[in-house]
Amino acid sequence: MRRVLALVVAGTLAAATLPAHAQDEEKAPYRPTPQQVVDRMLALAQVKPTDYVVDLGSGDGRIVLTAAKKYGARGLGVEIDRGLVRDARAAAARDGLSDRARFEIQDLFETDLRDATVLTLYLLPEMNRKLAPRILEQMKPGTRVVSQEWGIGDWQPDVRETVAGTEEWTGWVKERGVFLWIVPARVAGRWQVERGDAAGGFALDLWQEYQMVDARDDRGGVAARFRPIKGSEVRFTVPAPSPLAGDYVGVVEGAMMQGEFTTPAGAKGTWRAARRGDASR
Ligand SMILES: C[S@@+](CC[C@H](N)C(=O)[O-])C[C@H]1O[C@@H](n2cnc3c(N)ncnc32)[C@H](O)[C@@H]1O
């Protein structure tokens, strides 16, 4: 995965924008995101008026300000540079956005992410990697994370794009990677599934890495093929000739899942599942 991501970001500004010595450090230098890239990041995250957009390392505030101005969203930018926070607050006041676009002087590693529905990042690879457990722990299933230039460790993006943007300090047009992740529900563990028809129930032993899920049959569970989960939505297939064969679609809510299935013959029905055991990993 790292190699794939490295290839995707190759040819972007990665090496050029951030001095080699800074890439090992934990403080990303200030580099404003070109407005075209800001626009694309927010469009990729499908920002809506109901969203709360948090930009970690918010610089002059342009991402949060654009989210408020263009999409009517609320937002918070956190930044350790006082001068940049002052500039961002002044821009918010000038545009009449102070009630919706807030800026705080804060270390981004201490920012509470529980209310964020969209998280934006333009940091350094090691910073993103370090943030991953916090993102997965605190952000709710279905919330979105967008980063430009860098991935988040070995967490594979759900969407990746290349976007051209004009650098303000050189005037050069450069291409860079923009990546979207949808925070996955936690489904690892043993589940007991009940189908609402004569086929009855079965166990699923789920192993999970980020949005990738494997249903293992080495402990008596059914071997099912899972698609990458999208937020709270699960999709899996139990292959024929099993009497349980079918395509299953459902929604995870904590320790419960429920949804619908379609058999290979086209019959439809409902299913429910309850978590019976701890996460396998
Ligand atoms: C590459 S700039 C991105 C600015 C803005 N997000 C944008 O896209 O235009 C990274 C910003 O992160 C800030 N920063 C670096 N380390 C930080 C930390 N630990 N806590 C808060 N801000 C930090 C820097 O001061 C800098 O303004």
Residue of 254, 105, 115 lying closest to 187 (CA atoms) = 254
Predicted local confidence at residue 26, as pLDDT: 67
Residue 194 pLDDT = 95
Please give the pLDDT value at position 161. 97
Q: Is 147 in the pocket of ligand 1 (CB under 6 A)?
A: no
- Rounded CA-CA distance 138/105 in Å is 21
Residue matched to tokens 């699960």: 234
Q: Are residues 24 and 102 in the same domain?
A: yes
DSSP assignment letter at 239: P
Instruction: Establish whether residue 172 lines the binding site of ligand 1, counting it when its CB lies within 6 angstroms of any ligand atom.
Output: no
- 265 burial (CB, 10 Å; 0-12 / 13-18 / 19+) is exposed
In this structure, the answer to whether residues 204 and 158 fall within a common structural domain is no
Domain end marker among 140, 163, 182: 182
Q: 128: domain range? A: 12-182
pLDDT of residue 162: 96
145 shares a domain with 113: yes
Going from the Cα of 120 to the center of ligand 1, the distance in angstroms, rounded, reads 11
User: Ligand 1 centroid vs 181 CA: distance in angstroms?
Assistant: 20
Looking at the fold, whether 44 and 158 belong to one and the same domain comes out as yes
130 lines ligand 1 (CB under 6 A): no
Residue 55 shares a structural domain with residue 132: yes
Residue carrying the six token digits 């580099």: 31
Query: Residue 118 domain-assigned?
Result: yes
**27 Cα to the center of ligand 1, angstroms:** 7
Domain of 67, CATH number, reads 3.40.50.150
**Residue pLDDT tens, the chain, 281 long:** 343 333 333 333 333 343 343 344 568 899 999 999 999 999 999 999 999 999 999 999 999 999 999 999 999 999 999 999 999 999 999 999 999 999 999 999 999 999 999 999 999 999 999 999 999 999 999 999 999 999 999 999 999 999 999 988 788 899 999 999 999 999 999 999 999 888 889 999 999 999 999 998 888 889 999 999 999 999 999 999 999 999 999 999 999 999 999 999 999 999 999 999 765 44
Using most ligand atoms within 8 A of CB, pick from 58, 121, 150, 168 the residue to mutate for ligand 1.
58
273 plus 218 within the same structural domain:
yes
Q: Ligand 1 pocket check: which of 41, 54, 80, 176 to mutate, most ligand atoms within 8 Å of Cβ?
A: 80
Let me know: does 205 contact 215? Beta carbons within 8 Å.
yes
Strand segments (E) across the chain: 52-56, 74-79, 101-105, 118-121, 144-148, 159-166, 173-182, 189-195, 201-209, 212-216, 225-226, 233-238, 246-253, 256-262, 268-275
Is the same domain home to 23 and 113?
yes
For 256, other C-beta atoms within 10 Å of its C-beta total 13
Same domain, 138 and 242: no
pLDDT of res. 9: 37
Instruction: Give the number of domains in the chain.
Output: 2
Residue 97 shares a structural domain with residue 164: yes
Together in a domain, 169 and 204: no
CA of 242 to the centre of ligand 1 (A): 53
pLDDT of residue 15: 35
Domain annotation covers residue 2: no
